[in-house]
Every structure is written in C-alpha cells, then in structure tokens.
Amino acid sequence: MHRVRFLTIAKIYPKNLTKSEKYIKVKYSYDFILWGFTLLKGGCMKGFLKLFVVVLILGLVLPASAENLKFKVNLNGGLALMSNSDFNDMIKSLETMTTALMDLAYDTVDVTGEEVKMIPAANLELSLQMSSFVAGLKIGMPGTVTSVFTADVSDSPVAQPDIYMETDMKNWAFPFGLNLYYVLPLGEKMNLYVGPGFEYYMSKITNEQTKMTVAGADQTLDEPEIFNGSGIAGVLNVKGEYAINDMFSVYLGVIGRMGAISGYAGEGDLDGTTLYSYDFADEHHWDNLTPEEKDLYDADTTITNLEEAKIDMTGIEFFFGISLNFDM
C-alpha cells in the first residue's frame, strides 16, 4: 500500500528495508526557471488577454482620456520571499527520516536538506496610465533557485556498502498577470502606486536521479519523472516612483502574494497520475497516484491530510524597477 514512486529510491541498501522505509530521498535541486512562451498554447492566455483588452477599452472611453494617456514599459527585478510550506515540510521530513534510518546501519551519515524560502523575481510590465489609474500586463522573466537534499552514508558495521545518492528536482514556472493601480502624487517628482492584481502560473516539475553509487558502482536511473501543473495567486502592489525626467522613472516596491501552484499531472509513462502530498508515520510525503490509488489512500486510516501537492507561492516580494514613459 505504502509504495511511493515519486521522490523515492527504487533500490536501496540494506536490502531488508520495509516498504514504508522507502520514502527516503537523497538530493534535491529545486530550480525555479521562469519561462514564458509555452503559455501561448493555453486557454488561460486568451482569458488574460481578453481581460486586459476590456480594461484598456474602459480606460480609453473614460472622459478626458486623450489628454492624460501614457504608455509605460517597466523592467523590474527583486527577491520574492515565499512560504512553500508543502514542499519544505517534505524536505524537513526527508532529512529527519533519512538520518534516523541510515543511523541504524551506518556509522557515518551525512544528510542535509535546504529548504526553499526565496526566489529571484524579474518581470516586464507593459502598462497604460490614464490620469490616476494604471492597468499593467506583467510577463515573468527567467530566474533560478535551488534547494539541495543530499545523503552520503559509509562505514557500516554490518558490512553494508557505501551509498551516495543525488536527485535533481526542477520546477519551471512562468507567471503571467494583470495589475491595476491607483496613483497618489507625493510631490513634483514622486508618486505612490497602490492596487490589486493576480498572476497565473504554468509549471513543470522534472524529477531526475543524477547520481547513485553503491560501493562505488554507478546505479543511476535514466528516465526522469515529469509533471505539469498550474495555479493562480492574488497580489497587492505598493510601489514608489521617482521621475528622473518626463521619460525615465525609477521604482522601489513591495508585493504581497497569496496563492499556490498545484494539479501536477504526470506525462509519458506517468500519464494518468497526479502528485499528492500526505502525512504518514509523522512524516510528510509526496506521491504520484492514479484515481484508483487515491481512493485507496483515502480509505487508509494511517494516511492523513491527503491533498494535491503544491508549490506555495504565498509571501512578500521586494523589487526595484526602471520605467520608460511615453505620452500618447
């Protein structure tokens, strides 16, 4: 019942491990690479474009719009502090569980898990300002963050071979959003922008074993596991603008974000499965399940908090930006 294909080692020493002990994982690289143009294939792209067009049309038909219309190109970069609670709970459990298990058979056990708490954030925002109102279309730019989990065990008193294992888990995610601002003048060259927005994410998790040696012999698995997910986050933007001249401005700002990426569905050999998270034996696990397997997990009283695995994006982002302003 408790076999896990995702985030587990298929073959591990000692050989008499129980099935529940196979929840061990060994090294994680958690790369957030924000890519964009695959969203052009999805229906959500059309929804965002329609919404943005409606906002622009409403702006254009408002009174006196022709006298105060500006087009702005903003390039922003910063750091997003994120919760990522579901993934980080799994990392902490794997570190504790792997250490405890390997201590039973080895004298030297080195297990470390690095949680994901922040990601670099860069984006391009194209916005239209009329008087005190701004509508902005935001497109994410590439950025990378890595979380590492490693297990290196040796010196077994019961003649077990030394083991070194690594697995890279990469998550590509593209944010695409719409922001609405109200502009408050603070002086001749300074303005404060405040307003809500939302972001849509497309994401792909690739789980690939990059290295596994047993007694020095390479036993690395070849095929990666791939899962595709998506999600929506609500945001609140606050940023201050300083106008260098009529064409150039600089920004400092903060964004509050609440949302998550989930619904990770397997592709290829894993087609028909979805990533779930749950608690078992006081530890937090991820597994890819078919609908029939999910029903079995639901019926198992030793499994609790069963839900779709997620990348929790809730948190705060600090950013700096530059803007090009064009009167229309």
pLDDT at residue 4 above 50?
no
pLDDT at residue 189 greater than cutoff 70: yes
By residue range, what is the domain housing residue 184? 19-327
Q: Is the pLDDT of residue 11 over 60?
A: no
Confidence label for 55 from pLDDT (cuts 50, 70 and 90): low
Whether 71 is covered by a domain: the verdict is yes
Measured CA angle at 298 (ends 293, 301), to 5 deg: 125
Within-domain flag for 13 = no
- Domain assignment present for residue 258? The answer is yes
- Does 169 reside within a domain? yes
Average confidence (pLDDT) over 281-291:
90
Give yes or no for residue 280 having a pLDDT over 60. yes
Q: How far from 61 is each of 127, 135, 196, CA to CA, in Å?
A: 17, 14, 22
Q: Say how many C-beta atoms besides its own lie within 10 A of residue 133's C-beta.
A: 18
Q: How far apart are CA 81 and CA 311, in angstroms?
A: 13
Residue 209 lies inside a defined structural domain of this protein: yes
Residue 191 in contact with residue 241, Cβ under 8 Å? yes
Band of residue 145 on the pLDDT scale cut at 50, 70, 90? low
Alpha carbon 300 to chain centroid, angstroms: 29
Number of domains in the chain: 1
Q: What is the value of pTM for the model shown?
A: 0.75
The answer to whether residue 3 is domain-embedded is: no
Q: Is residue 121 part of a domain?
A: yes
Residue 136: CATH number of its domain: 2.40.160.20
Would you say 163 and 110 are in contact if contact means Cβ atoms under 8 Å apart?
no
Q: Is residue 40 part of a domain?
A: yes
